[in-house]
Structure 1
Amino acid sequence: MTPFIQGYAMGGGLIVAIGAQNAFVLAQGVRRNHHLAVAALCILCDGLLIGLGVTGVGTMVAANPTLGMIAAWGGAAFLSWYGLTALLAAMRGGSLTARNGTERDLRKTLILTLAVTLLNPHVYLDTVVLMGSVSGQFQGELRYLFGLGAFAASATWFLALSLGGQALAPLFSRDVTWRVLDGAVCLTMWSIAASLIHRTLTA
């Protein structure tokens, strides 16, 4: 198995897991709310973080427990807030048509995308720390080929998630379906926040 394929397989295995960023990207795809721009920004962020990991920055971050703790508490706070907004949205209900009329503008959507991506410590653990550590088994250009494979997996996944969400848009013209999506987003955000807090307190 070549380094590229190994990087693709590992990157896909890490990123496909349900998480805050995936839930957000799917929601934007369903809303048709700048979904391709959101996917492109997520791909760019993943590419930069994977690059940092492959070039050796992951080792430094993993060796600094203070940075890890700050990232965990900050991420938990943000995910808790985002989960609350999703819960309130689920209680209000609505439909895709109504929400299309009040969608965020591109700038606000991209800022929220950056927040969901960069304030989640799991992103750094998966890309910078873990990906960087595993890439260390390869020498020279092979190490960068491994990182390129992981980046390709990220690009494939986010484009599929964004376009797949758009294909599901007709389902979300129903109020009950929209409530289920927002409720699922809320539970996802809160469960991740709880796991971060638990891990920090028991470390």
Structure 2
Amino acid sequence: MNSAVFFQGFGICAGLIIAIGAQNAFILSQGIRGRHVLTVALLCCLCDVLLISLGLSGVGAFVSSSSALTAATAWAGVVFLSWYGLGALRSAIRGGTLEADTRGSDSLRAVAATTIAVSLLNPHAWLDTVVLLGGISGQYPESQRFVFGAGALSASFVWFFSLAFGARLLAPLFRRPATWRMLDGFVCLTMWGIAASLAHHALSLTA
């Protein structure tokens, strides 16, 4: 029974995090650039540990019950994602190659701060992990709830490390400036698209 609960947690979490979003786009970009890849993967996993733990503890139900708190979180996400998307757009316009880009790697502090921000300032992550996973885990007794959470966290660790380190296999493609521009353009559109959906959601809460 516990193994079935574990794999249910694994499967549901995998389905939620594999979809391309702000966090995955950032991880892919950093993995290709080779910028503090281990730190990025670890911090993403630790953020998921925090969010999933909050969901298992019942915080998700509290957050979703407050429209004001949900709207405030959404607007914070809009500001951050819009700013990050603008940076990606500037990079796409400027252009570059993998060799040129890796010489000027961001500092560890800057990469770590951006990783935490893109993981925690995205209300979609809160809805997926805290609210949705937390709500599903509530159907189980307490002992099995933690087995479900362990399965979800295992999926998180497998995905983030696979994406961060596997992205380097794409590096040969990014020795061409056109491919690099496409990646930065994709990141920009992803960030702005999510920001627009969050703004729409926040406006609907305050209407």
Q: Which residue of structure 1 lines up, in the alignment, with residue 93 of structure 2?
A: 91
Q: CA RMSD in A?
A: 0.9
Q: Which residue of 189, 192, 198 maps to 1:190?
A: 192
Q: In the alignment, is residue 202 of structure 1 matched against residue 174 of structure 2?
A: no
Rounded to whole Å, the distance in 2 between the matches of 1:51 and 1:199 is 25
Letter in 1 for 2:191: M
Tell me by how many angstroms 1:107 deviates: 1.3
Question: Which SS does the other structure have where 2:159 is aligned?
Answer: helix
What does 1:32-71 correspond to in 2, within 5 Å? 32-71=34-73
Question: Which SS does the other structure have where 1:168 is aligned?
Answer: helix
Aligned length: 203
What does 1:128-167 correspond to in 2, within 5 Å? 128-167=130-169
Letter in 2 for 1:124: W
Letter in 2 for 1:187: L
Tell me by how many angstroms 1:37 deviates: 1.1
Tell me by how many angstroms 1:202 deviates: 2.6
Q: Which residue of 108, 112, 115 maps to 1:113?
A: 115
What does the per-residue CA deviation read over 1:57-111, in whole Å, with 9 as the maximum and x for residues that have no partner? 1111111111100000110111111111101100000011111111111111101
Q: Which residue of structure 1 lines up, in the alignment, with residue 77 of structure 2?
A: 75
TM-score with structure 1 setting the length: 0.98
Q: Which residue of structure 1 lines up, in the alignment, with residue 182 of structure 2?
A: 180
TM-score with structure 2 setting the length: 0.96
Displacement over 4 Å in runs of 4+: none
| Identity between Structure 1 and Structure 2 (%) | 55
Rounded to whole Å, the distance in 2 between the matches of 1:111 and 1:44 is 13
Rounded to whole Å, the distance in 1 between the matches of 2:80 and 2:110 is 16
